[in-house]
Structure 1
Amino acid sequence: MTGIRTAPTAVAGDWLGADLSADPEQWRLPVPRQVADELLVLARDSLDKAAEKFPDAPLPGAGPATRALAGQVHRRLAGFPGFVQLTGFPVNADFELVEAAYSLFGRLIGPPVSQTRAGNLIARVEDQGAKIAVPTQRGHHSSSALAFHADRTDVIGLLCIRAAAEGGHSQLVSSKALHNLALRERPDLLAVLYEPFPHDQRGEAPPGRPGWCELPVFSRFAGDFAARYVRRFVEGSQRHARAPRLTAEQVAAMDFMDELLHRHGVALQMELQPGDIQWINNFHILHSRSAFRDAAGPDGGRLLLRLWLSFAGSPALPPEYADMYGSTEGGAYRGGVCATGAGPTWATERGDHE
């Protein structure tokens, strides 16, 4: 078990949504026209050479401006504020071309990991009628509101192709801010949040594993901070007879987390419009989405394309994360639904982002 390896202390680099909303230049970056045009050219070339659509090197043909933009994204993900919103990504070209351009740019941030057992590297985030109360159905195929949570990856990318007719708004919260608020107000509950919680793996556990694992909400390991909070999955663990039963202290700690998450001024709210990409450091940021409604008609409803990326700037994780992530070393290739702990030979390269 992880336990508290050191007495909880404040984590540097936290922020409150009320502060960041007043200064969007800290987290919003435009995609220069030169970069947009180059990505479409490179995407066309990759489609013409289908066997090289996912090359063994991260976009060797990218020019200085494209690499500079990727470097800015990388630095903000690894440091402050832990997320970025890009605006003006080209989405008006053929869908296949847009998808390829997005994939190629994502590879400048980090190598992709699988989002399904079938090995899909891009997921369509749209209403397919999924019911999130069903343990084996996925939230990104539902129009329901999704509470604050973290995904099974280092970095999340969300490219907006079409917005909803109503709703679908995004909220982000600094996990570091949650930690520091708990340290000031309820250190007793923060201590509980450093201990392992049972966690349902929603039918996506590695072969031979029991379908649940134990993970702390907050951890400090090998000098790195990480957070993971998905209350729905914690409570879902109780469907497994052998999973530890939740204690009164754990329920109180989650209630306190939820109070902090919904406290005025803590979350940053944003609306993703077509051409926006939201990049999130999954271990430093929790994200949520409001329910949405699609317009009737043939034009299609809300559609985002999601990437899950491994990331050279990712933190070291406690050993308990091995069941879900494969490798727990900082910067290692890891994560995804089909985590194997192995990946492309270039997955550990760092130079493109320094």
Structure 2
Amino acid sequence: MSDDTLTDVSWDSDYLESHRELWSLPLTDTDRDALWRDASAGEWGPADSARRGLRSFALTSLRTVGFVHVRNLVDASAPEDAIVSALSFLLRDFGQVIPQNAQGDLTQVLRDRDGDGATELGFHCDTCDLLVLLCLQPAIRGGGMTKLASARRVHDIIGREQPRALAALREDWTFDRTGRAGQQLIVSPILFTQPDGAIGCYYQTRTVRASAERSATPVTARHWEALDVLDEVLYRPEIAFGLRLEAGELLVIRNSRVLHGRSPYTDVPGPASRRVLRLWMNTEAL
């Protein structure tokens, strides 16, 4: 695709590095403070122009590369409940915040639990339209990078190199999500063509592998091989783009277009520990 294409860009790490203007928006301190005041008050006033500019940029990024990164959105030293309230108000421009677990929680703060940060989180898609991540504190010792991969780029590579695997990935797969928020049993291709021609994705590696017995069609050696091909392509350095979120930075991912994961990190106890605020959203804006 040409550089000025505004839909379904097939990107890799090099493309994102050289086209940051497509997906990363730095806010000035003036705009940040104005947005914070209005969002905290629950009513748009002086920050309305900044709000409209942010919304326009975000929607364009979500439609082109499938995610948006906003730098300097909030002062992460503010009280956590105040950040949650202001961010929830700001996000009304994009859709509805939905529960992200069986307990009905609308927000969660992701942090190391019993050393699980040291385990890499594999590529997957969450079961919502938009995944929202706001960094409150990055991993002080490094690591904990969010990893992103373009569904279209992965689809095209597999189709070129392993068409038999792509054919299997475009078949229906069963994802048994019993006990989690939302739909409990999802049957979907892992890679597919959406009505608008964009390449879509739905993938949870552990869930799909554990759900084989509930599949309406037999999961054969060909299917297991296709999953292995998918994982190999996703972890190629040129495909897996790593993004370190700094305190106060926002990342919104369109789950139907971008797969995401997290690199391992070693945490420290106390206020310097890694903390990322997470929300799930459904939207009609895209």
Scaled by the length of structure 1, the TM-score of the pair is 0.71
How far off is 1:82 after superposition? 1.2
How far off is 1:204 after superposition? 2.0
Aligned to 2:207: 233
How far off is 1:33 after superposition? 2.5
1:198 aligns to 2:166 (yes or no): no
1:26 aligns to 2:11 (yes or no): no
2 CA distance for matches of 1:177 and 1:24? Answer: 18
1:123 aligns to 2:108 (yes or no): yes
Distance 1:200 1:190, change over 3 A: same
Aligned to 2:32: 36
1 CA distance for matches of 2:218 and 2:114? Answer: 31
1 CA distance for matches of 2:50 and 2:139? Answer: 32
Distance 1:190 1:276, change over 3 A: same
1 CA distance for matches of 2:88 and 2:114? Answer: 26
Contact 2:8 2:65 in 1 (8 A): no
Contact 2:130 2:253 in 1 (8 A): yes
2 CA distance for matches of 1:86 and 1:221? Answer: 27
How far off is 1:143 after superposition? 5.1
2 CA distance for matches of 1:122 and 1:143? Answer: 23
2 CA distance for matches of 1:242 and 1:256? Answer: 20
How far off is 1:12 after superposition? 5.0
1 CA distance for matches of 2:103 and 2:115? Answer: 18
Aligned to 1:274: 247
Amino acid at match of 1:86: V
Aligned to 1:213: 186
How far off is 1:156 after superposition? 1.0
Aligned to 2:13: 17
1:49-68 paired onto structure 2 within 5 Å? 61=45, 63-68=48-53
1:247 aligns to 2:183 (yes or no): no
2 CA distance for matches of 1:40 and 1:13? Answer: 32
Contact 1:164 1:294 in 2 (8 A): yes
Distance 1:214 1:130, change over 3 A: farther
Contact 1:201 1:213 in 2 (8 A): yes
**Alignment match of 2:66 (pick from 82, 104, 109):** 82
How far off is 1:267 after superposition? 1.8
How far off is 1:60 after superposition? 5.1
Aligned to 1:146: 121
Bigger relative contact order, structure 1 or 2 (CA pairs below 8 A, ≥6 apart): 2
Contact 1:155 1:309 in 2 (8 A): yes
How far off is 1:93 after superposition? 2.0
2 CA distance for matches of 1:118 and 1:264? Answer: 37
1:92 aligns to 2:77 (yes or no): yes
1 CA distance for matches of 2:34 and 2:87? Answer: 12
Contact 1:43 1:97 in 2 (8 A): no
Contact 2:14 2:238 in 1 (8 A): yes
**Alignment match of 1:189 (pick from 165, 168, 171):** 165
2 CA distance for matches of 1:264 and 1:103? Answer: 34
Amino acid at match of 1:150: C
1 CA distance for matches of 2:185 and 2:275? Answer: 31
Amino acid at match of 2:262: R
2 CA distance for matches of 1:123 and 1:86? Answer: 20
Which structure 1 residue ranges, 5 or more long, are not aligned?
1-10, 47-58, 132-141, 315-354
1 CA distance for matches of 2:73 and 2:118? Answer: 24
Contact 1:70 1:105 in 2 (8 A): no
Amino acid at match of 2:140: A
Aligned residues: 276
Which structure 2 residue ranges, 5 or more long, are not aligned?
1-6
